[in-house]
Amino acid sequence: MAGLTAAETGRVRRRRVFYIPGFDPLQTRRYRQFYRTEGPRQAAISGYALEVGRKPAGMAHGWSVASQIDGETVEAVVEVLAWADIIGGSMRRTLAATYGQMVRTAWIYVASGALFRLGRLRKGPTLAALYPVVMLSMQAVVAGLAGWGLGAAVAGLVPGWGGAGLGLLAGGAVVGLVLRAFRRWDRWFLAHYLMHDYAFSAGHRGAYPPALVTRMEAFRARIAVALAEDWDEVLVVGHSSGAILGVTILADLIREGLPARGPALGFLTLGQVVPMVSFLPEARKLRGDLAYLSTREELAWVDVSAPGDGCAFALCDAVAVSGVAPSGKRWPLVLSCAFTQTFSPERWRKMRFRWFRLHFQYMCAFDRPGDYDYFRVTAGPLTLRARYAGRAASKSRIERALSGHRSVA
């Protein structure tokens, strides 16, 4: 109807999407490639048309989309709000610094009680958090044994203190070489990558690092500009730890005030790991933003995950489990895109043990998509609120408050 906004009609012809990746040094390349390959694949499976184009002028990272879905033409612009440079800086550490970081991070989670409470929430991501500690420790043991073996052999060849000194030098050199080799092979082990991920989250005991605060302010400004422009919907998508950033960015944005009769505002969180931070003692800002955002009528917040994703806190209501659910809570709507149902049996057999890849499946094509289709959500003719209006939350969702730290800022 003439004069009505998309927020009122639920219909979209022009959409602006802001994608916030998680802790991923390949932020810009990975997600553009996902959309370009998986989008047309999903369109062929589901019977609609979708074409991915170039990024608009003036945008650092993104692409454009044109679609024909359910008989309607939709144009979308997707922008990746990248923070890979901050991630890269945190990952460029010496081996000694990495092991020191491992000890400190493990201590923060154990001493705060967060690790044990997270284990009661979901075993999968908690084990994933323990994995880099175990793997890096094993690598250190292997390097130590190799160094001890060579050092003893060298010392045995040269009598006296000279042999002992040469053995010590040779053993130390081997330890360094083996550890550096393991780091070079981390694309298979992922131990260093995951260690830096958890250490980044725990580095300030749950508070946002200053460099990230500055970047989030810049992201918020980008979204604010779009909300003042002629779009039908502005959709913010947060994947993994990107969901954490999205919570605070949108909470601060709404506090500042949204334009009257502006675009519909949607927030889609995928494979979120919010409790990894919200359960830490200094995450007061995040917990306060969770509580605030959960009551706001200015946006629609849908959280999608799958129990088959061992890296996410699947079906956990991030507000409720953090112990900050206020009266009047309405968000998030927690939904499952159960992989056992949305994959064909053949594909599930191939994918079920590819845990890291499954963590990115939310942005990819499904053989048997249910009511979650990433490309319909980001390039389809309905707002996020209209698409899931009346949809019941997953019966398997977890809402039990388990965080031991519930103070808010």
Same domain (yes/no): 320, 190 = no
Same domain (yes/no): 268, 330 = yes
Same domain (yes/no): 223, 346 = yes
Query: Is residue 99, in this structure, part of any structural domain at all?
Result: yes
> What interhelical angle do 160-184 and 123-157 show, nearest 10?
150
Same domain (yes/no): 119, 164 = yes
Query: Is residue 7, in this structure, part of any structural domain at all?
Result: no
Please return the burial class of 5, using the count of CB atoms within 10 Å of its CB with bins 0-12, 13-18 and 19+.
middle
Structure tokens belonging to residue 52 = 């991915």
Query: Is residue 364, in this structure, part of any structural domain at all?
Result: yes
Same domain (yes/no): 308, 216 = yes
Q: Which domain holds residue 346?
A: 12-80+206-387
The structure tokens 């200094």 sit at 282
Q: Is 80 helix (H, G, I), strand (E, B) or coil?
A: strand
Same domain (yes/no): 258, 367 = yes
Query: Is residue 74, in this structure, part of any structural domain at all?
Result: yes
Query: Is residue 405, in this structure, part of any structural domain at all?
Result: no
Is 70 exceeded by the pLDDT of residue 208?
yes
Please return the burial class of 347, using the count of CB atoms within 10 Å of its CB with bins 0-12, 13-18 and 19+.
middle
48 in Cβ contact with 71 (< 8 Å): no
pLDDT in tens, 78-124: 999 988 888 777 667 788 888 888 898 889 999 999 999 999 988 88
Give the rounded distance of the alpha carbon of 373 from its chain centre. Answer: 18
Q: Is 36 helix (H, G, I), strand (E, B) or coil?
A: helix
126 in Cβ contact with 119 (< 8 Å): yes
Query: Is residue 398, in this structure, part of any structural domain at all?
Result: no
Is 90 exceeded by the pLDDT of residue 238?
yes
- For residues 5 and 306, what is the distance between their CA atoms, to the nearest angstrom? 33
Q: How crowded is residue 257: how many other Cβ atoms within 10 Å of its Cβ?
A: 9
pLDDT in tens, 307-362: 999 889 999 999 999 999 999 999 999 999 999 999 999 999 999 888 888 999 99
Same domain (yes/no): 62, 130 = no
Average pLDDT over residues 378-391: 96
pLDDT in tens, 267-295: 999 999 999 999 999 999 999 999 999 99
- For residues 267 and 19, what is the distance between their CA atoms, to the nearest angstrom? 10
Same domain (yes/no): 141, 266 = no
Q: Which of 159, 186, 201 is the last residue of a domain?
A: 201
Query: Is residue 191, in this structure, part of any structural domain at all?
Result: yes
Average pLDDT over residues 50-66: 91
Same domain (yes/no): 68, 100 = no
Same domain (yes/no): 76, 224 = yes
Same domain (yes/no): 355, 316 = yes
Same domain (yes/no): 331, 222 = yes
Q: CATH number of the domain at 316, please.
A: 3.40.50
- For residues 374 and 383, what is the distance between their CA atoms, to the nearest angstrom? 13
